[in-house]
Amino acid sequence: MAELAFSEAEYRGRQSEFLGQIPSDSLVLIPTNPHANRSNDVHYPFRASSYMLYLCGWNEPGAVLMSHYDSGAWTTSLFVQPRDTKTEIWEGRRVGTEGAASGWPIDEARSLEDLEKTVAEHFEACKQIHLIPGLNPRLDEMVNSAVNSKSRDSNTKDIGPTSLSDPSSILDEMRVRKSDREIQLMQESADIASAAHVATMRAAYADIGEWQVQAVIEGHFTASKSRWSYPTIVGGGDNATILHYNANNAVIAGGELVLVDAGSEVEGYASDITRTWPVNGRFSDAQREIYELVLRAQMAGIEACQAGSPWSAMHHATSNVLAQGLIDLGILDYSLEDALGEDFDGPYRNYFMHGTGHLLGLDVHDVGGGRQGDDGPGRELGPGMVLTVEPGLYFGSWRTDVEIPERYSGIGVRIEDDVLITEGGPVVLTSDCPKTIDEIEALVGSDR
């Protein structure tokens, strides 16, 4: 039997809830990711599609999950790579159809070699096709051809599909609120990432390379039998003011802050933490002023994460603190109302350019909406949602679009935690990762 992340009952429950929203005259096709080529004959490490992981836990490339309605019930089939000794000698053992049939929450296991023939046979009996596109080009081509073709049979005998839709929006909504087991996995991921950040702070010293910081944190992920959930960001000094900096190739000079944005992944579930700290272990007065302001804003944002509150509440809470703090520090010469702007788009945004958070789950920027800039009023926060709270301030000395005060030039600070919404209030899953100034100064360089 397979060692799955969830019970068969939980997978089957997800399938049932999903298919209960699909018309019975439909054929459902959910492909997973293929291998992605890095260069020549070298592939990137494989990571399965989040939809495939969510519905059945399958973690090999190229597979397709198919569901069709027959005799009053849905039947779910999984098409997988068949066993192939010659290929497995080079690339590793496959589960194969026999293994899939005995260990996964499906009704039938079939070989990918039979996919096209089997799918074509099911076209005649369905009126609608629900396909997640873009992952299997040959399947996309077959489906589009079937829907768009005008054969004699389809016109005179009403045979074959006439419409095509993407069912991911149904699955996206299901994935927004996490089950108890999902929360357990996300807590495990958060604990690993928290410990990795602590280890990185302990190992730091002046003139350490950004790449060396990356090595410590990702080494901890590997040692904990996890992987990174997104490429690690390590930005020292001015590099911390670049939101998606990823070169990680500069030396971090004594006296500079370093911003480390890194999370792990366990059974597909992501954590996402950012900490900013002085590489030599002591905040300067200017660094302390900005750090304390961002920390106050983050705490206000976390407190705003209450069940029943609108998504925008945490962004408004952090923005109010940041804007007032920028005024108090003399960085902005405006009233609070003018600094915030009519739609929280005022001049404080020159230094806080991104949203306050995003949903978190099988994807680090998880599905279900809720990000800054989404259309509409935003979703209501509810129990079982997991999201990040991550305000920041950035004063890049290299910027020419705004005035950068000399006192704060080259300072970038972001603080990010993972927060579970509960009826009793927000629960910080990443609370084991220190973030007060006293905690950080006690940690940085303590292993040297």
**Active-site residue, selected from the candidate residues 191, 256, 416, 441:** 416
Whether residue 220 lies in the annotated active site? no
Given a contact cutoff of 8 angstroms between Cβ atoms, the answer to whether 128 and 165 are in contact is: yes
Whether residue 390 lies in the annotated active site? yes
Whether residue 351 lies in the annotated active site? no
Give just the sign of the alpha carbon dihedral 224, 229, 230, 235: negative
Give just the sign of the alpha carbon dihedral 65, 70, 71, 72: positive
Given a contact cutoff of 8 angstroms between Cβ atoms, the answer to whether 314 and 372 are in contact is: no
**Active-site residue, selected from the candidate residues 275, 358, 363, 418:** 358
Report how far apart the first and last C-alpha atoms of the chain are (Å, whole number). 47
Cα-Cα-Cα-Cα torsion 353, 50, 12, 421, nearest 10 degrees, comes to -20
**Active-site residue, selected from the candidate residues 244, 333, 374, 403:** 244
Whether residue 272 lies in the annotated active site? yes
**Active-site residue, selected from the candidate residues 261, 265, 267, 366:** 261
**Active-site residue, selected from the candidate residues 12, 83, 316, 354:** 354
The one-letter code for the residue type at 163 is S
**Do strands 233-236 and 257-262 pair parallel, antiparallel, or not at all (unpaired)?**
antiparallel
Whether residue 261 lies in the annotated active site? yes
**Active-site residue, selected from the candidate residues 202, 365, 379, 399:** 365
**Active-site residue, selected from the candidate residues 188, 256, 272, 366:** 272
| HSE (side-chain half, CA atoms, 13 Å) at 11 | 20
Whether residue 438 lies in the annotated active site? no
| HSE (side-chain half, CA atoms, 13 Å) at 154 | 15
Whether residue 230 lies in the annotated active site? no
**Active-site residue, selected from the candidate residues 238, 390, 417, 441:** 390
**Do strands 269-270 and 257-262 pair parallel, antiparallel, or not at all (unpaired)?**
unpaired
**Active-site residue, selected from the candidate residues 414, 417, 418, 441:** 414
**Active-site residue, selected from the candidate residues 175, 394, 408, 441:** 394
Query: Catalytic residue numbers?
Result: 41, 244, 261, 272, 354, 358, 365, 390, 394, 414, 416
